[in-house]
Each structure stands twice: as C-alpha cells, then as structure tokens.
Structure 1
C-alpha cells in the first residue's frame, strides 16, 4: 500500500467517524461555574485549562492577576480525573493544558505533577489524553514526548512522526472573519474558514476554531463548514444543540 493511498484511506475512515459525532471543547473550563464536572456530565470531548508556573506548582488561571490559592492543576483536574477513573462514568477525553509560561520551565513541572496520576489515565480501552497548547516545543521534537500530545497549527508542514503526536488543528477565528455571530457572514469569509478546515482534513486531523462567536448561529455555521470540534464556554447548551446530530 503506497504512502499516499494509506493517508487517503485513513482520512476516509477518519472523516466518516468525524461526521458521526460533533465534538465539544470546554474552553477555559476552569472559569465555568462547575469546572471539570460540568464538562464530564456532558461527555465533553476536550477540557481546557490554562496554567502558569508559580514556584513548583501549576496554577490554573486566565491571567497571572487571576491566580487564586489552591487552584492548582492537581486540585482542579488531576485529582478529579483520579476519582472519575474509579467510577463507571469514566470515558475517553482529552485534557488540554495551555502553557502560558515557557515550555522549558513548565514541562518538567508538568511531568512531576502527572506522574502520580498516570495510572488513572487509562482504564481498559478508555483513556485521558494530555494535549499541550500555548507554548510548545519545536514540532521536530514532538515524537520524543511519549505521555503527551499536541494541539496543532494550520500551515505547518508536520513530518510524519510529528503528525502522529498532533490530536487536532486549531486557529483563531478572527484571523479569517470579523463576523460576530449576528446576521449573515460573507461568502468570502465562509470560503476562508472552509479552506483552513479542509487543509486540516487533508492531513487527517479534526479542526477547531477558538475565539469564534459562541452562539447557535456560529455553531451551525462551523458545523456546516466541516469544523469537527466546537469551542464553547456554553458546554451544556452546545451539547444539547448538537444532540440530534450525535
């Protein structure tokens, strides 16, 4: 089987799987009224936490001035994952950790934080995948990291080894359109949005826009254009909106 045919065949299978279910990404999950648990109750595909390095702790917050004592990655996410793994509600999802500080300083602390919890991340055929966004290492080194994966970027020529560590492609909606989710979006903007989604599909990866209008009009638009993952702060609402399609 040739390399091109293998990629095409994989894309076909992957594409059919994507159309079968809309995936929800809980954006800045830690800002929600019930962090982690709301996402899990709705079987969210992806849960996002921004982290800052403070001493030897990873603090979860949107900015340094919003850091609150006790809001560590361990307390808000790792301990709850461990508890969830002991129940019949455990399911496969990804924990996206957005590095706000440098990769070189943050990654060793993440390794140390994850180590006691690694045994809880796999239960039978169900798995929690740790995905790094924000400050990442060079993609030429992605393959060296065995216990984590990465949020990919568009227009990057990933090697075959690097691409295996990329779970999805993400980009800022505002780079392609200024539409605010009200009224009609221009056909030119639709085309730009669809092109970047299609480029991700060509390499066999799902696509997510962040920073898009967070309402039903935009959810529908992005789904119609082929976006596989809906980035939202309204987890329950988006989940219910897409239930007829799932």
Structure 2
C-alpha cells in the first residue's frame, strides 16, 4: 500500500511539473528567419523540422519542391545543437523530426546520422532528445536513442509510454474555429477532454494546426494545453511572459 501511494504521489508530482508552465514549440522552424537560433534564444521547449530522405541525405523542407542544396538536418540542426551544447547558455532541447517519407527507409538513415551526435543527446547530452513525429510506427517504439510524439486514443503499452514525450493532435479534428470571436463550448469540451486524457498519462499535450494568435494561445493554455504550437516563437514567448 505504501509503495502504491509513493507511485501515485510521484505520478501526480510529475504531472504537475509537466503542466506547471506553458512551453513553446517552434513549428516549421526551418522556415523562420533564423532557424534554430531564434528558438533557442527564446528557450523554446521543442524545435520542429520536416525531413525528406533524398538519396542518403536527410533534407529539411516543407515539401520536396522546396528542398535547397545544403539544407540538411545536420547543417541546420545537428551541428548547431552540438555547438550549442558546449556553451554556458545550453539547456535541454526536444528536436522534433517530422518524417515525410517512408519510415522504414528514413529511420535507417536517421539512426546512422544521429550516431555521430549521440553525445549530444540523452544523459550525455544533458537530456536533449530527438522526438519523431509524422510517418512513424503507431506502437512498438523499440528504437535506440529516439523518442516519439504520441497520438490520443491509442492504448500504449507501459514500454511505449517510456518513449513518448508528448501527445499531439490536429486542432481541425476538434473545431473549425479560426481564432476570431468565441469558440463554442462544445468544441472547448472536446479539446479539453484530449488534454485531460494526456495528463492522466503524465504527458504534456500539443495541438498543431490551431489558430496562431494571442486569442488562441490564451484559450488553449486556459484549457490546459501544455505546449503551444507556433510559427511566432518570439511573440508567443513574450505573450506568456506578460501573462
């Protein structure tokens, strides 16, 4: 009984710590004026890069037609993160990699690339982690050095849950609200239910595709969303510092 109580208190304490402060997710970070650097200057919790496998290179772009020579995952994120990890300003980062191609092929190239930077992640990297989203396995996350962005309404095993760092979903599944005027109470209830379900697992929740303005940020944070998905990293950071 005492052991069960301790486990419960630890879970409650972890959940409180997860939900205590709104975190910023730098969505499509590579499209920003200063990829990676704007996000870390604002101490973003997570930084997202869409990745395509072209030959044996992991290229960062929103679509294949937007791929530019030199814009590799290494050049835009892994090398800067490695350098940043050696500075006094360093803090743990969640590098979210959105897999746009076939998972089985891309994962092999990704693991090979990450091997060169393994000292920058996990315990040696003071807890910076690579988080996989997009085209990924739904369960059975038995992948060394990788963590995952979970989905709501999936019955994850205890082993899989150890690899999941957050739960995310498309805002459009819950509401057609565009960030102007009032959102309906029915839609708010649906949003809150998914957030609450993630919190029961001790995990933070993120909506992607939500309106990206102060009204939306306020509404989502009041409902309990822990991570705000935004293309406006500096503005969102300053908003939550003021409020």
Instruction: Provide TM-score, normalisation by structure 2.
Output: 0.95
Aligned to 1:134: 134
The 3 A distance-change label for structure 1 pair 138 and 126 is same
Residue 198 in 1 paired to residue 196 in 2?
yes
1:138-153 correspondence to structure 2 within 5 Å: 138-139=138-139, 141-142=140-141, 144-153=142-151
- Where structure 2 has 5 or more consecutive residues not aligned to the other structure, the ranges are none
Aligned to 2:117: 117
- Where structure 1 has 5 or more consecutive residues not aligned to the other structure, the ranges are none
Report the Cα distance in structure 2 between the residues aligned to 1:23 and 1:89, rounded to whole angstroms. 18
Match of 1:223 among 221, 224, 227: 221
| Alignment check: 8 A CA contact 2:119 2:125 kept | no
RMSD of equivalent CA atoms = 1.8
Aligned to 2:160: 162
Aligned to 1:209: 207
Report the Cα distance in structure 1 between the residues aligned to 2:72 and 2:103, rounded to whole angstroms. 18
Paired residues, what number?
243
| Alignment check: 8 A CA contact 1:90 1:126 kept | no
Report the Cα distance in structure 2 between the residues aligned to 1:4 and 1:218, rounded to whole angstroms. 39
Give the secondary structure class of the aligned counterpart of 2:221: helix
Report the Cα distance in structure 2 between the residues aligned to 1:112 and 1:229, rounded to whole angstroms. 30
Aligned to 1:65: 65
Aligned to 1:173: 171
Report the Cα distance in structure 2 between the residues aligned to 1:220 and 1:11, rounded to whole angstroms. 27
| Alignment check: 8 A CA contact 2:18 2:202 kept | no
Aligned to 1:49: 49
